[in-house]
Structure 1
Amino acid sequence: MINMKAHFLLFEGFSGFEFICPAFTLRNVEKVTIGLSKNPILSEERIKFFADIIVDDVNADDIEILIIPGGNALQHLKDGSKIQELLEKLHGKNRIIAAVCGGPVLLANTDILEGKKFTAGGGELPENWQKNFTKGQYVKDELAVDGNIITAKAVALAKFAIAIGKKLNLFKNKEEEDREYHMLSL
Structure 2
Amino acid sequence: MGKHILMIVGDFGEDYEIMVPFQTLEAVGHSVDAVCPEKESGDTVKTAIHDFRGDQTYLEERGHDFVLNATMDEVDPTEYDALVVPGGRAPEYLRTYDEVLETVRHFFETDKPVASLCHGPQILAAAGVLDGYEMTAYPAVRAEVEAAGCSWVDGVVRDGNLVTGQAWPDHPEWLAEFMTLLGDEISHGEQIAADD
Shorter-chain TM range is 0.7 to 0.9
Number of residue pairs the alignment of both structures matches: 171
Question: 1:141 corresponds to which residue?
Answer: 154
Instruction: After superposition, give the CA deviation of every residue in 1:78-100 in whole Å (9 maximum; x if it has no partner).
Output: 2x621111101221121111101
Distance 1:48 1:180 in 2: 35
Higher CA-based Rg: 2
Structure 1 position 133, deviation (Å): 4.5
Residue segments in structure 1 that go unaligned for 5+ positions in a row: 182-186
- Is 1:22–1:160's contact at 8 Å kept on the other side of the alignment? no
- Is 1:118–1:136's contact at 8 Å kept on the other side of the alignment? no
- Is 2:48–2:64's contact at 8 Å kept on the other side of the alignment? yes
Question: 2:179 corresponds to which residue?
Answer: 165
Distance 1:67 1:96 in 2: 9
- Is 2:132–2:151's contact at 8 Å kept on the other side of the alignment? no
Question: 1:81 corresponds to which residue?
Answer: 98
Instruction: State whether structure 2 residue 39 is matched by structure 1 residue 29.
Output: no
2:178 maps to amino acid: I
- Secondary structure of the 2:11 match is coil
Distance 2:111 2:154 in 1: 23
Instruction: State whether structure 2 residue 80 is matched by structure 1 residue 67.
Output: no
Structure 1 position 64, deviation (Å): 0.7
Distance 2:190 2:86 in 1: 19
Residue segments in structure 2 that go unaligned for 5+ positions in a row: 50-62, 192-196
- Is 1:115–1:135's contact at 8 Å kept on the other side of the alignment? no
- Is 2:86–2:118's contact at 8 Å kept on the other side of the alignment? yes
1:134/1:168 CA distance change after superposition, 3 Å: same
- Is 1:25–1:165's contact at 8 Å kept on the other side of the alignment? no
Structure 1 position 148, deviation (Å): 0.8
1:106/1:133 CA distance change after superposition, 3 Å: farther
Distance 1:179 1:68 in 2: 27
Structure 1 position 142, deviation (Å): 0.9
Distance 1:146 1:87 in 2: 16
Question: 2:44 corresponds to which residue?
Answer: 40
Question: 1:6 corresponds to which residue?
Answer: 5
Identity of aligned residues (%): 18
Distance 1:56 1:24 in 2: 23
1:104/1:31 CA distance change after superposition, 3 Å: same
- Is 1:25–1:180's contact at 8 Å kept on the other side of the alignment? no
TM-score normalized with structure 2 length: 0.78
| C-alpha RMSD of the superposition | 2.2
TM-score normalized with structure 1 length: 0.81
